[in-house]
């Protein structure tokens, strides 16, 4: 692909050699003469001058250079992600049903659907146009998969789950497993029936080995555009809003509410019935206590989670404890000497 062709496809302007042929993408520090990279951080800005990249995607305000071929874009990182899709397009599967797949009764199936080897689709499922179900997947009864969904190999979707269009489920993810609900009777735990549903919105992505539990009663829901990393657990009756991002190994207890555009770091633990309000940020490894409210736009860290400024002050004070301990020991020694001399 030529520089001018890439610029035209991105809807952007270029400077320099528009006929230069580009064959791939690479980080700015290692890119070669036939590769495109981007300048999206201060570190990349410092490396750009010495970079051998054939073309750089740069911010609109980037200074002009007589020896550099650049494409000016509002958001270089976003444009670079789009450029990558041109150089490394997703492999397209040919529509059809593998001979070893098992498709139940009364399944509604749109055009261009792919069902891979040893996949199972339960009775009454509805599969949208151009949806892909990978090898070894299990799709339960009365499941709805919207248009253009991708289920990578070995995904399990239990009965009565709705998944919106364009959603991606990675290998090992489990949608609709029973929630963790038990009642104590006669000194023994008895299972509380989990008869609710799971509803997943459009363009959601769920990482490998993540689990979204069905509601005990009602619905566990994940809103449009939300992205879950690998090994994330969403408990029963949780309501995750739109365009939320959740990093790996985070766990949501039952009944948690996460509002739109929240950002949640890795290894976060959230107690039951907690509420994370719009655009709040939870730092990696923090713990949110049951029924706690993290307010809109707030950044919290630590266990128990507290506002970032307060958390940093606590860390600073903790770092002073060794000195404080020595000072207290010295004061005790002096006091003992005074008492002896008295």
Neighbours of 323 (CB within 10 A): 9
Residues 139, 161: contact at Cβ < 8 Å? no
Rg, C-alpha atoms of the chain: 27
Least confident of 111-115, 167-171, 323-327: 323-327
Q: Which pTM does this prediction carry?
A: 0.83
| Side-chain half-sphere CA neighbours of 33 within 13 A | 4
Per-residue DSSP letters for 39-89?
--SHHHHHHHTT---SEEEE-TTPPP-TT--EEE-S-HHHHHHHHHHHHSP
What letter would DSSP give residue 203?
Answer: T
Q: What residues have CB less than 8 Å from 329, skipping those under 6 apart?
A: none
Residue 309's pLDDT band (cuts 50, 70, 90): confident
- CATH homologous superfamily for 96-309? Hexapeptide repeat proteins (2.160.10.10)
Phi/psi zone of residue 20: left (φ > 0), alpha (ψ -120 to 50 degrees), beta? beta
**Helix H or strand E segment including 189:** strand 188-191
Q: 118: buried, middle or exposed (CB in 10 Å: 19+, 13-18, 0-12)?
A: middle
Res 245 pLDDT > 90: yes
Give the whole-angstrom CA distance, residue 51 versus residue 68: 10
pLDDT tens-digit series, residues 27-68: 999 999 999 999 988 888 888 888 999 999 999 998 887 688
pLDDT tens-digit series, residues 160-212: 999 999 999 999 999 999 999 999 999 999 999 999 999 999 999 999 999 99
User: Among candidates 298, 328, 323, 302, which has minimal Cα distance to 314?
Assistant: 302
152-160 mean pLDDT: 97
Q: Residue 304: is the preceding peptide bond cis (ω within 30°)?
A: yes
Phi and psi torsions of 167, nearest 5°:
-80, 150
Residue 143's pLDDT band (cuts 50, 70, 90): very high
Residues 241, 260: contact at Cβ < 8 Å? yes
pLDDT at residue 215, rounded to an integer? 96
Residues 285, 266: contact at Cβ < 8 Å? yes
Residue 90's pLDDT band (cuts 50, 70, 90): confident
Strand partners, 194: none
Residues 145, 126: contact at Cβ < 8 Å? yes
Residues 6, 17: contact at Cβ < 8 Å? no
Active-site amino acid positions: 236
Class of 3-87 in CATH: alpha beta
Q: Angle at Cα 141 formed by Cα 138 and Cα 142, nearest 5°?
A: 125
Per-domain boundaries in the chain: 3-87, 96-309, 316-341
Q: What residues have CB less than 8 Å from 333, skipping those under 6 apart?
A: none
Res 331 pLDDT > 90: yes
């Amino acid at each position: 692909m030529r520089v001018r062709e890439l610029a035209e496809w991105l809807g952007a302007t270029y400077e320099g050699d528009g006929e230069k042929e580009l064959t791939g993408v690479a980080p700015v520090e290692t890119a070669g003469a036939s590769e495109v990279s981007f300048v999206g951080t201060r570190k990349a800005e410092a490396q750009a001058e010495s970079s051998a990249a054939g073309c750089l995607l740069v911010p609109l305000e980037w200074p002009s250079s007589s020896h550099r071929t650049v494409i000016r874009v509002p958001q270089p990182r976003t444009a670079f992600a789009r450029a990558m899709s041109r150089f490394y397009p997703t492999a397209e599967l040919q529509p059809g049903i593998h001979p070893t797949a098992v498709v139940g009764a009364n399944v509604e199936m749109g055009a261009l659907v792919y069902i891979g080897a040893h996949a199972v689709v339960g009775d009454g499922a509805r599969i949208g146009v151009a949806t892909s179900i990978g090898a070894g997947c299990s799709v339960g009864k009365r499941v709805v998969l919207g248009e253009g969904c991708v289920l990578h190999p070995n995904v399990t979707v239990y009965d009565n789950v709705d998944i919106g269009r364009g959603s991606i489920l990675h290998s090992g993810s489990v949608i609709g497993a029973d929630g963790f609900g038990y009642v104590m009777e006669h000194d023994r735990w008895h299972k509380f029936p989990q008869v609710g549903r799971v509803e997943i919105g459009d363009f959601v992505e769920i990482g490998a080995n993540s689990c979204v539990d069905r509601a005990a009663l009602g619905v566990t829901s994940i809103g449009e555009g939300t992205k879950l990393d690998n090994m994330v657990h969403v408990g029963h009756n949780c309501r995750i809003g739109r365009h939320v991002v959740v990093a790996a190994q985070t766990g949501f207890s039952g009944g948690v509410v996460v509002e739109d555009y929240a950002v949640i770091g890795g290894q976060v633990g959230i107690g039951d019935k907690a509420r994370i309000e719009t655009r709040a940020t939870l730092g990696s490894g923090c713990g949110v206590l049951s029924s706690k409210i993290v307010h809109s736009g707030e950044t919290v860290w630590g266990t128990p989670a507290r506002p970032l400024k307060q958390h940093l002050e606590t860390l600073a004070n903790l770092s002073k404890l060794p000195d404080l301990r020595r000072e207290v020991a010295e004061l005790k020694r002096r006091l003992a000497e005074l008492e002896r001399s008295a």
